[in-house]
Structure 1
Amino acid sequence: MEGGTERGNDGPNYVEATQKSIGVLRFLKEHGPATLSTIAEGTDSAKSTVYRHLRTLEDAGYLVETDDGYRIGQLFLDYGIEAQRSHPLYEAGKPKIDALAEKVGEKVWLVVEENGYAVYLYMQSGNELYRSFTRVGYRGHLHAFSAGKAILARMSKSEVNAILDRRGLPAYTEQTITDRDRLFAELDRIRQQGYALHLEEAVDGGNAISVPIQHEDGSPIGSVCVAGPAHRLNESYLRSELSDLLLGTKNEIELSMRYEA
């Protein structure tokens, strides 16, 4: 599940043509190669309007026209790699994530907050197989994932409320916290114990544990997450075994960012 409540589109700084191009790109990302007619129908736009946007985006290298229709161009791969590498947490966190994945044998993620979402910046997989809907570049609601809750727990109440007002509290599963008071109580517990869990809150059958990565002033930079199937990563194992390992990784990353910058 991606997306959420966006900013209003009727303000003085709103550019309708730009928003239309973004809508075309978002449709193709979510639905794969598509013809002009399919895109026009899917974006509720006139074919003539969509055609102009497609040609503009194609000429600039952001789209490619194939036998199956238009698709996202590989230029976005270049942008994506630059976006990943330019985040200050990436260089400091990557070797620590790799080492932790080898040690625990599970998927280990480096996650950051951007624009009110949890963004999955980097992943290394251990020996154990686990397929999930998350991927590098995935954006999810912060409240539904342990990685996001770990970040929220290190924000001020006003900052958390601003994100919830903007993005909401949608349910990913029946276990997702969708009540604001319950979420704040959960964030209090996370601050006290030093780590966050999600127990089938983001996906049925999947559990995870995360710890925040923080600046010297305590504000969050991101989080480290270990995720896997609930039968392997049960609550007892997450708390008794993985929490200390993640807290050690957290300390290493914070020291690297502080003294190797």
Structure 2
Amino acid sequence: MTDGSEYNRVKTTQLSIRILETIKELDGARLSEIVSSLDIAKSTAHKHLHTMEEAGYLIKEGGTYQIGLKFLNLGEYARERWPGFEHIKNAVGELTERTDEECDFVVEDHGRVTTIEESYHKWVKYEEPSDGPPSKEYRARIGSYYYIHATASGLAILAEYPTERVNEIINKWGLPAKTEYTITSQSALFEELEQVAKRGYSVDDQGYAEGMRSIGKAVHGPDGRVLGALSVSGPAYRVDGVVLQEKIPNELIAVVDSLEQTLAEEAPL
């Protein structure tokens, strides 16, 4: 017994999506690389590539195909139409000024979270690793996807979901480790979600990136639906003690309460 989802999928569209994902994974790909990676006919690959290039979804640099800027246009449209986006944007900026740390707002999308707004305080500094190049893991980037269990914002969102939905996400994505501190067992995850529900906000202690701590809180719309989550992140050496236990949580709660009130006041009757 199936839910009919496989029957309703269009194979040509699926192939176009796979081609796009392959080009991104390879950071640009030639026709021969697409054919080899996806094990498809050269003529088939060429038709898909040519169609997407003409529509602006791909650009061709010499013989290499790259993702086109048409996606940027669509992504900005999707971001800005998110319920309460302008108020969310203002809240992220306010939280950054109140905490002097990095802040962002994420939403859940098919079992992962993605950042739709970010703000970085000019004084934020991280200790760079002594045995390698500077890490890019500390900085959230608009449009990037993250495993929901490995971030404070994701944990805050999961804590609002029914058990059935949480299990669906686990079954789809698993609980892969980002660092040695990442939650990787189902029992540990549910224990953590209970703690999040009790305290009203989540804490990620280096589960996403070593050396970084984050505090997150879910944001609800006027109808009670979870719109996403606000979070504050900073170096573990600074986000500690009273800053971790009182200062940042208090500022985060205040900004979320204010944002939810604003969203409720502007909701259509």
TM-superposed deviation, 1:182: 1.0
1:246 lines up with 2:252 in the alignment: yes
Query: What is the one-letter code of the residue matched to 2:156?
Result: A
TM-superposed deviation, 1:170: 1.4
**Which of 205, 212, 217 lines up with 1:199 in the alignment?**
205
2:29 counterpart SS class: coil
Q: Which moved more, 1:53-62 or 1:160-169?
A: 160-169
1:35 lines up with 2:33 in the alignment: no
Measure the CA separation in 1 of the matches of 2:258 and 2:20: 39
Structure 2 segments unaligned to the other structure (5+ residues):
127-135
Could you tell me which residue of structure 2 aligns to residue 81 of structure 1?
76
Measure the CA separation in 2 of the matches of 1:50 and 1:205: 44
Measure the CA separation in 1 of the matches of 2:107 and 2:121: 21
Q: Deviations over 1:85-138 (max 9, x none)?
A: 011042221111111112222211011112111111110111214553531011
**Which of 105, 108, 112 lines up with 1:110 in the alignment?**
105
Structure 1 segments unaligned to the other structure (5+ residues):
1-7
- Cα distance change, pair 63–246 in 1 and its aligned pair in 2 (3 A): same
Mapped contact 1:33–1:68 kept (Cα < 8 A): no
TM-superposed deviation, 1:199: 0.9
TM-superposed deviation, 1:240: 2.0
Number of equivalenced pairs:
254
1:11 counterpart SS class: coil
**Which of 181, 192, 195 lines up with 2:187 in the alignment?**
181
1:215 lines up with 2:210 in the alignment: no
Could you tell me which residue of structure 2 aligns to residue 141 of structure 1?
147
1:46 lines up with 2:41 in the alignment: yes
Could you tell me which residue of structure 1 aligns to residue 129 of structure 2?
none
Could you tell me which residue of structure 1 aligns to residue 132 of structure 2?
none
TM-score with structure 1 setting the length: 0.90
Measure the CA separation in 1 of the matches of 2:61 and 2:163: 49
1:226 counterpart SS class: strand
Q: Which moved more, 1:158-167 or 1:142-151?
A: 158-167
Percent identity over the alignment is 34
Q: CA RMSD in A?
A: 2.0
Could you tell me which residue of structure 2 aligns to residue 3 of structure 1?
none
**Which of 112, 117, 122 lines up with 2:117 in the alignment?**
122
Query: What is the one-letter code of the residue matched to 1:81?
Result: E
Q: Which moved more, 1:73-82 or 1:230-239?
A: 230-239
Mapped contact 2:89–2:117 kept (Cα < 8 A): yes
1:136 counterpart SS class: coil
Mapped contact 1:147–1:224 kept (Cα < 8 A): yes
- Cα distance change, pair 100–25 in 1 and its aligned pair in 2 (3 A): same
1:100 lines up with 2:100 in the alignment: no
1:151 lines up with 2:157 in the alignment: yes
Mapped contact 1:170–1:178 kept (Cα < 8 A): yes
Mapped contact 1:113–1:222 kept (Cα < 8 A): yes
**Which of 7, 15, 27 lines up with 1:12 in the alignment?**
7
Measure the CA separation in 2 of the matches of 1:41 and 1:134: 33
1:88 counterpart SS class: coil
- Cα distance change, pair 259–29 in 1 and its aligned pair in 2 (3 A): same
- Cα distance change, pair 243–183 in 1 and its aligned pair in 2 (3 A): same
TM-superposed deviation, 1:76: 0.8
Measure the CA separation in 2 of the matches of 1:32 and 1:9: 34
Query: What is the one-letter code of the residue matched to 1:33?
Result: G
TM-score with structure 2 setting the length: 0.88
Q: Deviations over 1:25-70 (max 9, x none)?
A: 1122233222112222233433322111101111111001112611
- Cα distance change, pair 39–250 in 1 and its aligned pair in 2 (3 A): same
Query: What is the one-letter code of the residue matched to 1:24?
Result: I
